Amino acid sequence: MSISLYHATVPTFLQITGAVSGLLDRAEAFCAEKGLDPSELIEARLAPDMRPFAFQVRWVAMHGFGAIESVRNGGFVPDMTPPPSDFAGLRARLADAIRGLETVGYSELDAYIGKPVTITLRDGALTFDAEDYLLSFAQPNFFFHATTVYDILRWKGLEIGKRNFLGKLRFAED
């Protein structure tokens, strides 16, 4: 059995982006329940040299649907503008990513196999084949940022577990 590039990326991007959106809902409810200013979570970071929660959420969207757009365009330039500063803005960013991922055609990504994707960073550029970009750069970054979102919320006291991170699982009958 073979697996397509679509199946290796898009369904998981959708699953985890949806789970992160659910984590935002829980985070907002936690703030209301505890009387916390939402900025206490939105601006939280695990270490002084790490980006804050809002940045992590935005980069889940950027390394999910944004990665697909990068493959389509042949390039990726990180969006370093400030992320949304409230739950509604973060939720909208994830909803846009989910809508975009839902438009990706099953065979579309396989058509990009072997095509170059260049990442432009402040200290240079890296060029990958589309499949190597998605599987060795975008997907690991996507999981790093999604995990960091989860970790910040756990650290701040939210009662969440692995099931919250995993989101809606896919089964043979789906």
pLDDT at position 174 is 61
pTM above 0.75, yes or no: yes
Partners of 133 in the β-ladder: none
Q: What does the H/E/C string look like for 112-139? A: HCCCEEEEEECCEEEEEEHHHHHHHHHH
Q: Is 132 exposed, middle or buried (0-12, 13-18, 19+ CB in 10 A)?
A: middle
Q: Please, what are the domains in the chain?
A: 5-166 (1.20.120.450)
pLDDT at position 1 is 55
Considering Cα of 134, then 48, then 38, then 32, what sign does the dihedral take?
positive
What are the residue ranges in the chain where pLDDT is below 50?
none
Whether 154 contacts 164, CB under 8 Å = no
